Amino acid sequence: MPEAPKRFKKRDDKFGAGRRRRVCSFCSDKQGYIDYKEINRLRRYLSDRAKIEPRRKTGTCAQHQREVTAALKRARQMALLPYAPQHQG
Ligand SMILES: [Zn+2]
């Protein structure tokens, strides 16, 4: 009996190297909403230049990326997260 074809081989070759394939961390969470006060969690979605990381980098799904963005902007207004990188010296 022939072996079943490895269907996702090609895709893994393309995306697997360098960047890990990740599932949206908010989908696997049953909280249901994103709290703007959880800055330790939200900080991971900011780059070192304090910019919001794109979906292709963080692996967040479209729905949650929108919510993350809204939460981040809310957190910025509350001065919990920066708009721009911190001054050096
Ligand atoms: Zn999600």
Contacts of residue 69, defined as CB under 8 A and 6 or more positions apart, other chains included, come to 52
Question: Which architecture, in CATH terms, is 23-89?
Answer: Irregular (4.10)
For residue 84, pLDDT over 80 is answered with yes
Cα 9 to ligand 1 centroid, rounded to whole Å: 24
pLDDT confidence band for 64 (50 / 70 / 90): very high
The predicted pLDDT at position 22 comes to: 66
Tens of pLDDT, residues 19-61: 556 689 999 888 889 999 999 999 999 999 999 999 999 999 9
- Computed over every residue of the chain, the mean pLDDT equals 85
3-state secondary structure 27-64: CCCCCCCCCCCCHHHHHHHECCCCCECCHHHHCCCHHH
Cα 16 to ligand 1 centroid, rounded to whole Å: 20
For residue 81, pLDDT over 90 is answered with yes
Cα 20 to ligand 1 centroid, rounded to whole Å: 17
